[in-house]
Amino acid sequence: MSDKTNAPFLRNAWWQAAWSDEIDNERGILARTIMNEPIVFFRDKSGKVGAVEDRCCHRGAPLSHGNVVEKGLECLYHGLTFDCSGKCVEIPGQDSIPPMANVKSYPVVERQEFIWIWMGDPAKADESKIIDWPFHEGEKKLPHRKATMPIQVNFMMMIDNLMDLTHLGYVHRKTIGGDPRTHVNAKMDTVRTETGVKYVRWMDDCNPPPTYVKGAGFKGKVDRWQEFEYVLPGSVLQWSGALDVGKGARENREQDGFHLRLFHGITPATETTSYYFWSTANGYRTDDPQATEDMYNEIYPTFVEDVDIMNVQQERINMDPDRPLVGIKADHALVLARRALQQALDEERSAVPQAAE
Amino acid sequence: MSDKTNAPFLRNAWWQAAWSDEIDNERGILARTIMNEPIVFFRDKSGKVGAVEDRCCHRGAPLSHGNVVEKGLECLYHGLTFDCSGKCVEIPGQDSIPPMANVKSYPVVERQEFIWIWMGDPAKADESKIIDWPFHEGEKKLPHRKATMPIQVNFMMMIDNLMDLTHLGYVHRKTIGGDPRTHVNAKMDTVRTETGVKYVRWMDDCNPPPTYVKGAGFKGKVDRWQEFEYVLPGSVLQWSGALDVGKGARENREQDGFHLRLFHGITPATETTSYYFWSTANGYRTDDPQATEDMYNEIYPTFVEDVDIMNVQQERINMDPDRPLVGIKADHALVLARRALQQALDEERSAVPQAAE
Amino acid sequence: MSDKTNAPFLRNAWWQAAWSDEIDNERGILARTIMNEPIVFFRDKSGKVGAVEDRCCHRGAPLSHGNVVEKGLECLYHGLTFDCSGKCVEIPGQDSIPPMANVKSYPVVERQEFIWIWMGDPAKADESKIIDWPFHEGEKKLPHRKATMPIQVNFMMMIDNLMDLTHLGYVHRKTIGGDPRTHVNAKMDTVRTETGVKYVRWMDDCNPPPTYVKGAGFKGKVDRWQEFEYVLPGSVLQWSGALDVGKGARENREQDGFHLRLFHGITPATETTSYYFWSTANGYRTDDPQATEDMYNEIYPTFVEDVDIMNVQQERINMDPDRPLVGIKADHALVLARRALQQALDEERSAVPQAAE
């Protein structure tokens, strides 16, 4: 388990900072606080995305109030301009630019509709470590829809939530929950992976829910699964699906049937607030845009239910953040996920000697 | 006088936590913060009222978002269930319940439409010490109406307010105030009681105000009184009334005439916020529901005037809470009330050795 | 430069507290926080303005909720009354007034529509040091209009803003800005004065802007200037104008032409909030009230643009108030102003030995 309920930040890791299209607003600029640091994301005139400290070195004004100009991002206050690397390339009224006139920049990668950011040592920012989510781009691309929800919760509390589905019967009682016993008694196959934790819940030889029937045209019983994979530090890859009984789902799930691919990205804004990014990909009626829309509209209010209970949970935690919680059986995957994070935090701290927090 | 303008909390005492009917809402659940502790009140299926910490021991979620089920109060997040004593009686998915899986509970008593709570040592919670207010139930029952007002004020500031009626001519100038001199010059009979302070203001041989005439049908002059009794730690029992001159009011007030019975209960939510509970009982036209309603509607805006000035008073106090105030003559009963509280606080502290606050 | 971006308060100095007519509201009372101290301004029945601590010595209630009565300012709570010197002159219910029953008072001067306040040692409050602004009263009086804007900015940040006009081309791009180069390349004549800093920007032999033409009826080219004088600790006197070429503007500006007289007064409410007072006087079409109104309506949204960027600038500064800023050439006058303030602060501290802040 992490030392604290409010988990600390792992800095040497890729975190989702935004969806690409969040930057592609009218101004080409997006302000976001990550790990307490105000950051401005912008797309320069060449199309490249930059992420720099959202504070001009001259008078401290937020650069996110400025404008993208030919040379880069121009401060609204007195016109200093910075490129994607944070280098000052223009100071109105003077020819030479002093060397300290720069702002901090962060490694960023735009890929598969994600903007990933590296908050730690730039020298360690290895792009090959970025999660692959092929359902947004390329051969495996599926129709999908994305959302960003600001939440008043430590990022790890949302991971906890996704690691323990026994909450479905309670939090989502009025929506997708169904009978609590189903969730509580589901058999879980949970494993520690190299990059986190994965579990699969199997419901064999059962009646498919209406959404599944509508989505994949099942005539009879199905083998269902729910796979959740936590990938350090802030992502959960979900694959919910079903195949007709007899197709050998356990051996090979990659067959025609019902396939819902959900990506969950949770990134800390502060110790107790986060951004919750999610994407839902339609792998069951790929030629029907309405099916993608319907699933999004079904999921959205469900996730709001999660956020509502977690927001008030966090309020209680904040009253005494170090007070212990009591573990129960259903916490198994959650405990493994916390342990994986703690191990990564320990490694980061031992690798880079630093002052105690 | 109390050491501080913002009086500390007396824990070994009964405080009003709610009116009974506040719990009898649709969900049978009421969340309230008392002395900085989040508490959930609920009525279980047997009709008993429980008060337990509003934080599930499992993941910290507030139980007040849960539901009353057969076995007790069920957490909305993962279904753990607690009885009125705070004992966990259900953990979905496991048979044995570990001994630490409990939440803190508080002694509560439901009586005469009050919910009383004991915030200190449960072993000392003696129900016989609870204030009797017979005007809500039984033989002496009167038609009445109740209210709860959250106020941004230390509980003792409201006691102060009720202990010095010279404010009537200023705060309530536009409503019930009348000429300030009347209040300032009224003769006060103030005594220290075993449980607090009591004063009576007598206005002999005077013209009854219109409300009194309408209420009791007076034809001529009356002897009027206003009795305010502070009962430690947070209650004030008010008896305002009048009898026809010649009936011997001083010797025996329990005769037909005008009798208004007001209960004031003030309970600390935090050092600087409180709940102000009050009840007004019609002891003058008991067969006329409109008379009860009219009095409530007359009193309500008057108490809002008190709250308005006290809220801004507290803002100033908070800027420097330990800065001394200058005493004046009119503070006499207030000083006695503060002294009574301080004595009780001193006794509590000497009885139970504890770390300095 | 001042030690800190959030400049400390100079106490032994006259600060603008209000415009006279702000006190002349229905109640004759104005509450304002200056240097973290809650102060109530009131005009007594003789017409004199008093400034006293906005906290009754009796129970701490804010006197600004009271009323001006014959003897002075009466507390709303229990009727204590104070004169302009803060002396208690009435305690209802008692004849003698104890000597400690006073509230702190501040030297105030009402002059030329300003209310000036002295926050330091009253013995040093020399009225001859008050800024003269003859455009509000007397022979030089001009038609004018005034405003008060609460801003979320340390007072000196607004002085900085007025000392560096290169912001015009960026902050005011959509309003009065024009081409940034014009402002960046303008020649500045900057001098340290006895009471602060003064600069004049000259634009010789240029086409007058439409406002100027409309205002003064220019037929051809003009010599234009913008004079900004910072007077310690919180005022900036602005004289923007133009004369026909050939009239010898450099030698004598006091001739018929276009003359806009702006007063800027900035007074700290707290370390990071201030009141921004400004007055615009029409020295170009003095017989046309609409011209005064038009100028006010043109300036107002422009100053809102300044305030908007400064408010967010201050948020960034507050994240790390002592973090250094990078200086550029355009900061020249700003640096001199900061230095002048720092010198005055140093003198105040060395003159009156006091505890370190």
Give the closest-approach CA distance of C96 to chain A in angstroms.
50
Give C262's contacts (C-beta < 8 A, 6+ positions apart): C237, C238, C239, C240, C278, C279, C280, C281, C299
Report the alpha-carbon distance of residue B183 to residue A225 in Å, rounded.
78
Q: Torsions phi, psi of C34, nearest 5?
A: -130, 125
Contact between chains at B38 and A184 (C-beta distance less than 8 A): no
Report the alpha-carbon distance of residue B23 to residue C34 in Å, rounded.
46
Tell me which residues of chain B have a pLDDT lower than 70: 1-3, 176-178, 352-357
Contact between chains at C91 and B328 (C-beta distance less than 8 A): yes
User: Which chain B residue is nearest to residue C102, measuring alpha carbons?
Assistant: B326
Task: Report residue C195 as tokens.
Answer: 């009471």
User: Which chain A residue is nearest to residue C327, measuring alpha carbons?
Assistant: A58
Contact between chains at A328 and B60 (C-beta distance less than 8 A): no
Give the closest-approach CA distance of C271 to chain B in angstroms.
16
Contacts of B312 in chain C (CB under 8 A): 61-62, 65
Report the alpha-carbon distance of residue C142 to residue A105 in Å, rounded.
52
Contact between chains at C93 and B317 (C-beta distance less than 8 A): no
Report the alpha-carbon distance of residue A84 to residue A35 in Å, rounded.
20
Q: Please report the beta strands in B79-218, taking only residues with DSSP state E, as ranges in sequence order.
A: 81-82, 88-90, 108-111, 114-118, 144-151, 187-192, 196-206
Q: What is the pLDDT of residues A205-231, one digit of tens each?
A: 888 888 888 888 899 999 999 999 999
Pairing of strands C108-111, C114-118: antiparallel
Give the closest-approach CA distance of C76 to chain B in angstroms.
5
Contact between chains at C313 and A80 (C-beta distance less than 8 A): no
State the helix-helix crossing angle for C155-163 and C289-319, rounded to 10 degrees: 120
- Of residues C83, C57, C93, C101, the one with CA closest to residue B180: C93
Of C181, C185, C313, the CB nearest to A77: C313
Of B78, B100, B101, the CB nearest to A170: B78
Where do the H-state alpha helices sit in chain B? 20-23, 155-163, 168-171, 180-185, 210-216, 289-319, 332-351
SS3 C346: helix
Q: What angle do CA B239, B243, B249 make, to 5 degrees?
A: 80
Provide the residue type at C351 as one letter.
Answer: A
Task: Report residue C326 as tokens.
Answer: 């990078």
Beta-carbon neighbour count of residue B172 at 10 Å? 18
Beta-carbon neighbour count of residue A296 at 10 Å? 17
Contacts of A328 in chain B (CB under 8 A): 58, 78, 80, 91, 93-94, 101
Give the closest-approach CA distance of B125 to chain A in angstroms.
27
DSSP bridge partners of A108: A117
Contact between chains at A60 and C330 (C-beta distance less than 8 A): no
Contacts of C93 in chain B (CB under 8 A): 166, 184-185, 328-330
Give the closest-approach CA distance of C89 to chain B in angstroms.
14
SS (H, E, C) chain A: CCCCCCCCCCCCCEEEEEEHHHHCCCCCEEEEEECCEEEEEEECCCCCEEEEECCCCCCCCCHHHCEEECCEEECCCCCCEECCCCEEEECCCCCCCCCCCECCECCEEEECCEEEEECCCHHHCCHHHCCCCCCCCCCCCCCEEEEEEEECCCHHHHHHHHHCHHHHHHHCHHHHHCCHHHHHHCEEEEEECCCEEEEEEEEEEECCCHHHHHHHCCCCCEEEEEEEEEECCCEEEEEEEEEECCCCCCCCCCCCCEEEEEEEEEEEEECCEEEEEEEEEECCCCCCHHHHHHHHHHHHHHHHHHHHHHHHHHHHHHHCCCCCCCCCHHHHHHHHHHHHHHHHHHHHHHHCCCCCC
Query: Using beta carbons and an 8 Å cutoff, which residues of B are at the interface with A?
Result: 38, 54-55, 57-62, 65, 74-80, 91-94, 98, 100-101
Tell me which residues of chain C have a pLDDT lower than 70: 1-3, 176-179, 352-357
Mutate to test the interface with A, among C158, C168, C175, C326 (most CBs of A within 10 A): C326
State the helix-helix crossing angle for B332-351 and B155-163, rounded to 10 degrees: 140
Going from the C-alpha of A302 to that of each of A176, A297, A313, C108, the distances in angstroms are: 7, 9, 17, 61
Task: Report residue A230 as tokens.
Answer: 């936590």
User: Which chain A residue is nearest to residue C317, measuring alpha carbons?
Assistant: A60
Chains in contact with B, where contact requires at least 3 CB pairs less than 8 Å apart: A, C
pLDDT recorded at residue C173: 80
Cis previous bond, B233, omega within 30: yes
Domains located in chain A, CATH noted: 14-129 (2.102.10.10), 144-351 (3.90.380.10)
Q: How many CB pairs under 8 A join A and C?
A: 72
Contact between chains at B77 and A170 (C-beta distance less than 8 A): yes
DSSP bridge partners of B206: B222
Contacts of C313 in chain A (CB under 8 A): 59-62, 77
Going from the C-alpha of C279 to that of each of A34, C33, C85, C276, the distances in angstroms are: 42, 21, 29, 10
Give the closest-approach CA distance of C102 to chain B in angstroms.
9
Question: Which contiguous run of DSSP H or E holds residue C357?
Answer: none
Mutate to test the interface with A, among B59, B63, B89, B96 (most CBs of A within 10 A): B59
Pairing of strands C67-69, C49-53: unpaired
User: Which chain B residue is nearest to residue C61, measuring alpha carbons?
Assistant: B313
Contact between chains at A317 and B62 (C-beta distance less than 8 A): no
Of B54, B61, B101, the CB nearest to A309: B61
Taking a C-beta distance cutoff of 8 angstroms, is the pair C34, C117 a contact?
A: yes
Task: Report residue C218 as tokens.
Answer: 């220019």
ipTM of the complex model: 0.91
Beta-carbon neighbour count of residue C95 at 10 Å? 6
A247 torsion bin: left (phi>0), alpha (psi -120 to 50), beta (else): alpha
Contact between chains at B78 and A315 (C-beta distance less than 8 A): no
Give the closest-approach CA distance of A55 to chain C in angstroms.
7
Cis previous bond, C233, omega within 30: yes
Of C60, C98, C101, the CB nearest to B316: C60
Provide the residue type at C161 as one letter.
Answer: N
Taking a C-beta distance cutoff of 8 angstroms, is the pair C342, C8 a contact?
A: no
Question: Residue A316 — very low, low, confident or very high, per pLDDT cuts 50/70/90?
Answer: very high
Give C32's contacts (C-beta < 8 A, 6+ positions apart): C17, C18, C38, C39, C40, C41, C269, C275
- Of residues C224, C218, C212, C228, the one with CA closest to residue C182: C224
% of chain A surpassing 90 pLDDT: 84
Contact between chains at C330 and A98 (C-beta distance less than 8 A): no
Taking a C-beta distance cutoff of 8 angstroms, is the pair C103, C109 a contact?
A: no
Taking a C-beta distance cutoff of 8 angstroms, is the pair A160, A341 a contact?
A: no
Question: Which contiguous run of DSSP H or E holds residue C241?
Answer: strand C235-244
Rg, Å, chain A Cα set: 22
DSSP bridge partners of B240: B226, B260
Taking a C-beta distance cutoff of 8 angstroms, is the pair C314, C339 a contact?
A: no
Contact between chains at B312 and C94 (C-beta distance less than 8 A): no
Q: In this structure, what DSSP letter does residue B330 have?
A: G
User: Which chain B residue is nearest to residue A169, measuring alpha carbons?
Assistant: B78
Report the alpha-carbon distance of residue C120 to residue A276 in Å, rounded.
52
Contacts of B80 in chain A (CB under 8 A): 328
Contacts of A65 in chain C (CB under 8 A): 309, 312
Contact between chains at C309 and A74 (C-beta distance less than 8 A): no
Of B167, B184, B316, the CB nearest to C62: B316
Give the closest-approach CA distance of C123 to chain A in angstroms.
38
Of C170, C309, C326, the CB nearest to A79: C170
pTM reported for the whole predicted model: 0.92
Question: Residue A33 — very low, low, confident or very high, per pLDDT cuts 50/70/90?
Answer: very high
Report the alpha-carbon distance of residue B215 to residue B202 in Å, rounded.
19
Taking a C-beta distance cutoff of 8 angstroms, is the pair C337, C6 a contact?
A: no
DSSP bridge partners of C264: C236, C278
Chains in contact with C, where contact requires at least 3 CB pairs less than 8 Å apart: A, B
User: Which chain A residue is nearest to residue B58, measuring alpha carbons?
Assistant: A326
Give the closest-approach CA distance of A306 to chain B in angstroms.
9
DSSP bridge partners of A90: A81
- Of residues C109, C353, C348, the one with CA closest to residue C118: C109
Report the alpha-carbon distance of residue A292 to residue A302 in Å, rounded.
16
User: Which chain B residue is nearest to residue C33, measuring alpha carbons?
Assistant: B316
Contacts of B101 in chain A (CB under 8 A): 326, 328
Q: In this structure, what DSSP letter does residue B249 have?
A: T
